[in-house]
Amino acid sequence: MTRLQALLYLRCVAIIGQSAAILLTHFVLSMPLPLVPLFAIIAVLVGSNSYLAYRVYYHPQSVPSDDSVAIQLTVDIMALAALLYFTGGVNNPFVSLLLLPLALAAVMLPLGYLVGLVVLSVFLYASLMVNFVPLPTMPVQWQQTISLHTLAMWLNFVVSACLITGFIAYLAQKNRDTERAIANFEEIQLRQEQILALGTLAAGTAHELATPLATISVLAHDLRPQVSTHLYEDVDLLCQQIQQCKQLLNNMVQRVELAQIQEFSLLSVQQLVAKVLDKFQLLRPMIKVQYIAQPLYSHIFLACDATLEQALINLLNNAADASSAHVEIQLHQHSQQMMIDVCDKGLGLANDILNMIGQDKISTKGEQGMGIGLFLANATLERLGGEINFLARDGGGVIARVILPIHHIQHIHAALHK
């Protein structure tokens, strides 16, 4: 809730309460009041509140300045002082309501504005001590059953207690929400720092790996004439994999140099999965991934970049390591989200490990894993507005569920024509 929204709602309560008090006093208690000037003042409040409603509902993104908030609170103070002038001045038990705008100003405005409003309120209170229209005398029949002053003081206490406690409770809730947001932001910042460190190390490692890969490539080609013919296929596969590693390193360096790693493109789900499977098959040609393309999802687009493709490849690698013969990709749509399930039929994982995967550098491969693949995959999906969940699969194994927001084709066309 913004400052203008808070003023809007509180002023609605004030207008209703003031109107009810005037009508009750005039018609029920038979104490004639000057209704024309009183309701003229309330009309000014209604007009000012209408302007606030326009600002809140038709320009919700605009940030109100301190000047505009101070002006609105000044209107409230002046209007309340004018109402008190026509209803007994400081003898009116509701005079203490002048403190409420000051309480709001103490929360919403800098000290300079607050001092100005306090000076204005003190001046108006002093003026109401000598300049006011006296309240009419209560009829005799009411004087015998009720004390007007006591009743008004009770109502004043009820109104003040409700408004102050409600506003303080609202501020306390906002403070708790802010603390949670700060804690989440700090956690995200820490994770981004870890990712940045990993990225820096990866860039350096890419350059360092070029020399040993070149040496291995030369040795592999020299080794081919020296082995038996039945090993030719294995040596060729080795050379192919070395060339693939070199190509991957070159691509990574080019993306960093061209600053393309942060650029997003819109791909259909089918295109994304097809690109990921093509790259995965080059890396691990012996693994067959079970996937049935569904035309139903061809019109659904996702925001993608190289890191998302790499995250999905990491998940496929994990599934292949868990059960090389049973790796599947399944697609599901739920509302405005697309779910890409990477499934295996391995031994599965305990529930406590499933809940921790991706939140820290936890390896599920024992000494063979470094524990950063799933961590980076989770960070990538968070950056794209998605998330990743790990679920136990019926019959054994794990489902790595990637959830991403959907971008419909009509939204894309609308964005292009802006």
Whether residue 202 is predicted with pLDDT greater than 80 in this model: the reply is no
For residues 56 and 5, the answer to whether their CB atoms sit within 8 Å is yes
At residue 226, does pLDDT exceed 90?
A: no
Which strand (E) or helix (H) includes residue 159?
helix 148-223
3-state secondary structure at position 143: helix
Residue 47 has pLDDT above 60, yes or no: yes
Size of the chain, expressed as the number of residues it contains = 418
Q: Is the pLDDT of residue 253 over 70?
A: no
Model confidence, pTM: 0.53
Structure tokens at 115: 């001092």
Percent of the chain scored above 90 by pLDDT? 25
Tell me: pLDDT of 131 over 70: yes
Q: Given pLDDT bands bounded at 50, 70 and 90, which one contains residue 402? A: very high
pLDDT value, residue 156: 76
> Which DSSP state fits 384?
T
Task: Give the CA count within 13 Å in the CB-facing half-sphere of 361.
Answer: 8
d(CA 377, CA 390): 12
Contact (Cβ atoms closer than 8 angstroms) between residue 340 and residue 329: yes
Residues 6+ apart with CB under 8 A from 8: 49, 52, 53, 56
pLDDT of amino acid 142: 65
Report pLDDT for 167.
Answer: 73
Number of neighbours of residue 385 by Cβ within 10 angstroms:
11
3-class DSSP state of 290: strand
